[in-house]
Structure 1
């Protein structure tokens, strides 16, 4: 038998033997530092001479780049290079799941030269840039959306010879096009990524991303876009569920799906997440940042130092409650939640324990400027006094986590200072002569709070769209070119009308709604640009709880008849229905929650009004769209957005231009709940006398003013009659020193400082544990719309957030005073361009 022919310089043929061996039988190096070939190793073909020559000729690819032999790269081997490139250079944090994907990708496409030739650093640098552009956040991980996997799939065809071909990458990106918010075009040219994946990777799916491939907004100067195409309403149950991670110092999505009946652990995590958010917000504040070299002779005091102008020597330091053990007679600053102990005493609780509070000499900061109720997270400054009757320093729960012995004598109580939206998102915002610099941390600009895209991903792009639609801001001085452009083009729609306490079972309410709609219909004169963007009607839509077993509230048939009566009123204004977005926010008396609550406090967030009661209203809007726009796609009005009606949840968020403008809508009689659960403080002896004297002085001044101007009421009535005859809504000025304004400021400061819509215990205001993140006001919205029927209407700005209370649509006090029997309808008109709200009124 002849010997097999062998190639010079190569071992003899043993292909049959090699074909019988498997990859598991091969011996590999045990050191992870070496590049081990990937499984399996292919055997050489029988024609050794021809194959060896073919391989020698194929060492370079078609484009001249050498081929790469894939290797198995252990994740721990790539970790130092990834830390140097991603963390130190791009300020990103790599998780274990992300490290596993990156090590597989680098080992497959960079080969054995990943370290010596520096191939891995270049590839990781491009991956970090792509991750930031997609709005991935601070953590690089392959979550449920497979964002990292989609980025790696996009880079696969651009890899050549272990290097990333920038030419291919640029051509791929140009074919994809930059994200656009116009209403035509697609992402169909993106390789290896579907349309849905491309939109969800940027968080832009909810913004109806159908833009052209160019992505240049300057090309559409001829056509004035409808502002309503950038208006989105987000339900509380569709908002992303985010929790704060203390180890990663960032917000991340919650694991699992939300449930209405979650396990008991989710209740604890709900309060724990609130505490972590407030605590990290304080640590970002300059007043709580400890200096490197301190020369302070005494600790700072909340009563005698400003929160925003605290020097480095007076930096505050928060002490955990468990650290009070054995430190009797010392002064401390505590951060915790007010709660009632098992014995009924008011206590302060944090993650380490709780302590009973002594408020006999405590003073609130500011004086009568905020509410303090159980369930709120507050700052308490005082002295710890240990109970001398016990020899042990351990609490009743045998250590850390329980209630410690002794009493904490509080000197001052204050809410945690609020943080502006610009600082939270890590952006700079110029307000007049002052400029806010985000020098307290990186911020959360890469976090997608609403599912529409993060601020760092699409914020600058959407602000360009906002300037193109609205023009220059009112604070800036317009140029001659801007003035000419405004004269040539129609003014953009930027108004939102908000009506509160629309009890549809009252005929007076229906007349008031008809008068308000008639005023807008008359002032528009057939021009769409004069109409508001949206008209928001906030409940309660019934004066009593519906389907609760009482004869006053009525059943399901009566409740549906109320909305049928509203549909007949809306049908009179077809032009409004076809060009305005109507939003309905329910209250506690609306179904289905009122069926078992009987008008008491229901669980928040809550669903919108069921569709079974709203069929007639939806039919009226569809009929108006057919009459105005026609049954076809274009209709009578070219490129017009059809009217729509949205049955929102409570609370709900209305967004304009993505994350740029955020408006929170919330219906709740929250002022009365604050008064019922507020903590009372002992007043000084002389303080009551001074307040009585001041009150008497105010009464004497008001009486003298009324005597000096006896015709003031007649003049006020003449202005109202002129407004009623002209059918133009007018703003009603309000006095800044009235008690209603002081009560409004007290309510605003309490909510904004707590950064929560329901800072109450669960027995006072039940909450859905898995959806409690939708009640958070962090970061602060651009505007907060409250509907508190027990408070008069107001519009006040605090810490950059414009807070408005709608009040009641019918002024019942004016109705009783008017002998002619006419009514006065009141509502709030919010200007999105100036971020300001004004109170409007019209007679009917």
Structure 2
């Protein structure tokens, strides 16, 4: 039997092409095992390959039928269980951190935090053809090339140079650009900036010229360019940055097929559910009543904090009352039998909820508060903030934090309005280009040094949910779906999200 890629058999598109490529790869492997180097393949290896694929398909089919019924299509990943990877600039590859990670890191962990953020973006920009060194030193090779120069090399140089570094403020009150080699004071007064919030701790790519007084005059300043998700995955090989486990090509194809069939799957996301507010609880019951009578109930309800109208700080003395209010919420959910049986309920703490500290990432709500609710809803999931959800092949990140307000206050200069004047779009551009959920100065928002990787957004996820008390918004940026469900207790807003089509339905009572 002679198989050719030009055959009409290979004119199908999409999953059919991938399945046929997979079949040819298996045939090639079987042929190599028996030492066949000819393009002509006999019946026996074809029979073995097809039999093996059919057996695997039957096994996956049986597993998938059990999976759908047990909600295993949705996997929630706690931030503290996300694997940690570091980039080796010498070998130019990632390696996984082994061993435990202490919450109380030493001083070296703080410097490693900045180094890891920088190297993550540096290896990303090294794949961009516009910022890579030309292969041959010819006039044509310099066309459109903006090679990144180490800051240390600026000393004694004239003319314009491209550099990449972290914006830092030293004790003298001036701003500097810092990379792994050196730091240089910068002047942004004449800089043309691109979309996004430029603040301290953000990593930027800048074009400028070294002045005689040792200050780097910046003419153009922006964030490192994004890298396509598929390109990132090819470069990373089998590394699991998301924490959902690695999949073979066969498993990915099968899950993609199941995902395409799940057209009725829907996530309902609500932020700011104040359990101590009768008005908010009444509105929540209205929402649950509405979904209870739907033909197909939502697959997942995501309840994001804050769960109390008052901050649960040192002056808060009503924890026993809050515990009872969680119990009332559980009783309310249990009064909707279809939702209780067929939907999952995920709870993510807010910035003012009870917990050991306000440092990110935040651990799940204390068991003391949630025990009463779990009596009614035993399969309720209480996760960290941020947390990650894997839906078949899709990767979704949930983050509850009033980020827009903080980013605007920390901004060094007004963002450019050339492309957009919408603050939410600037926020989305900032976190996606920085590949970090909260690129704020640590003095503004502390981060557990050893767990900063939990806030990374690399490779880019399919969807980012930013629970914020600001206005409800949705924005698709470079293929990444981002939305803010709004504040349910304040604005009566929430979102119904269909992961199969990445459709965002901005809803309100």
TM-score interval, normalised by the smaller of the two chains: 0.7 to 0.9
Tell me what 1:519 maps to.
290
Q: 1:234 aligns with which of 77, 92, 100?
A: 77
Residues 624-635 of structure 1 aligned to structure 2 (within 5 Å): none
Contact 1:227 1:533 in 2 (8 A): no
Helix, strand or coil: the match of 2:459? coil
Helix, strand or coil: the match of 1:786? strand
In structure 2, distance between residues paired with 1:216 and 1:759: 44
Q: 1:290 aligns with which of 133, 137, 143?
A: 133
Tell me what 2:151 maps to.
321
Contact 1:578 1:621 in 2 (8 A): no
Deviation at 1:230, TM superposition (A): 1.6
CA separation of 1:580 and 1:312: change in aligned 2, threshold 3 A: farther
Q: 2:377 aligns with which of 602, 621, 633?
A: 621
Residues 421-570 of structure 1 aligned to structure 2 (within 5 Å): 421-426=229-234, 443-454=235-246, 457-468=247-258, 470-471=260-261, 493-524=264-295, 530-549=296-315, 553-570=316-333
Note if 1:256 corresponds to 2:64. no
TM-score, normalization: structure 2?
A: 0.84
Deviation at 1:332, TM superposition (A): 1.0
Helix, strand or coil: the match of 2:294? helix
Deviation at 1:217, TM superposition (A): 3.9
In structure 2, distance between residues paired with 1:363 and 1:223: 56
CA separation of 1:767 and 1:417: change in aligned 2, threshold 3 A: same
CA separation of 1:522 and 1:258: change in aligned 2, threshold 3 A: same
In structure 1, distance between residues paired with 2:142 and 2:293: 60
Deviation at 1:425, TM superposition (A): 0.5
Q: 1:784 aligns with which of 450, 464, 473?
A: 464
Residues 87-106 of structure 1 aligned to structure 2 (within 5 Å): none
Tell me what 1:26 maps to.
none
Contact 1:502 1:509 in 2 (8 A): yes
In structure 2, distance between residues paired with 1:579 and 1:240: 31
Structure 1 alignment gaps of length 5 or more = 1-128, 134-169, 181-211, 298-310, 388-405, 427-442, 472-490, 525-529, 595-601, 623-643, 692-735, 813-824
In structure 2, distance between residues paired with 1:470 and 1:324: 52
- Encode CA deviations 1:262-290: one digit per residue, 9 max, x unaligned: 22111111111111110111010121233
Note if 1:419 corresponds to 2:227. yes
Contact 2:274 2:489 in 1 (8 A): no
Structure 2 alignment gaps of length 5 or more = 1-24, 30-44
- Encode CA deviations 1:66-88: one digit per residue, 9 max, x unaligned: xxxxxxxxxxxxxxxxxxxxxxx
In structure 2, distance between residues paired with 1:682 and 1:229: 43
Q: 1:794 aligns with which of 468, 473, 482?
A: 473
- Encode CA deviations 1:340-366: one digit per residue, 9 max, x unaligned: 02201011111111111111211212x
Deviation at 1:841, TM superposition (A): 2.3
Residues 90-239 of structure 1 aligned to structure 2 (within 5 Å): 215-217=58-60, 225-226=68-69, 228-239=71-82
In structure 1, distance between residues paired with 2:489 and 2:353: 19
Tell me what 1:606 maps to.
362
- Encode CA deviations 1:613-639: one digit per residue, 9 max, x unaligned: 1112111124xxxxxxxxxxxxxxxxx
Residues 754-833 of structure 1 aligned to structure 2 (within 5 Å): 754-789=434-469, 791-812=470-491, 825-833=492-500
In structure 2, distance between residues paired with 1:672 and 1:325: 38
CA separation of 1:578 and 1:246: change in aligned 2, threshold 3 A: same
In structure 2, distance between residues paired with 1:332 and 1:461: 46
CA separation of 1:507 and 1:338: change in aligned 2, threshold 3 A: same
Tell me what 2:197 maps to.
371
Contact 2:324 2:372 in 1 (8 A): no
Q: 1:746 aligns with which of 407, 422, 426?
A: 426
CA separation of 1:446 and 1:665: change in aligned 2, threshold 3 A: same
Larger Rg: 1 or 2? 1
Deviation at 1:811, TM superposition (A): 4.9
Tell me what 1:708 maps to.
none
CA separation of 1:829 and 1:221: change in aligned 2, threshold 3 A: closer
Helix, strand or coil: the match of 2:287? helix
In structure 2, distance between residues paired with 1:655 and 1:666: 15
Note if 1:338 corresponds to 2:180. no
- Encode CA deviations 1:406-429: one digit per residue, 9 max, x unaligned: 111111111111112111112xxx
- Encode CA deviations 1:720-747: one digit per residue, 9 max, x unaligned: xxxxxxxxxxxxxxxx99x6xx222111
Deviation at 1:541, TM superposition (A): 0.7
Contact 1:827 1:841 in 2 (8 A): yes
Deviation at 1:468, TM superposition (A): 3.6
Helix, strand or coil: the match of 1:650? coil
Question: Relative contact order (C-alpha < 8 Å, sep 6+): which is higher?
Answer: 2
In structure 1, distance between residues paired with 2:254 and 2:277: 45
Deviation at 1:561, TM superposition (A): 2.7
Higher strand share: 2
Contact 1:363 1:681 in 2 (8 A): no
Deviation at 1:671, TM superposition (A): 0.8
Deviation at 1:646, TM superposition (A): 0.5
In structure 2, distance between residues paired with 1:220 and 1:650: 31
Please report the RMSD computed on the Cα atoms of aligned residues, expressed in angstroms: 3.1
Note if 1:267 corresponds to 2:110. yes
Tell me what 2:11 maps to.
none
How many residues align? The count is 465
Note if 1:648 corresponds to 2:369. no
Contact 1:505 1:542 in 2 (8 A): yes
In structure 1, distance between residues paired with 2:412 and 2:484: 24
Tell me what 1:150 maps to.
none
TM-score, normalization: structure 1?
A: 0.52
- Encode CA deviations 1:574-595: one digit per residue, 9 max, x unaligned: 221121110001012111246x
In structure 2, distance between residues paired with 1:423 and 1:808: 36
In structure 2, distance between residues paired with 1:747 and 1:573: 37
In structure 2, distance between residues paired with 1:507 and 1:221: 42
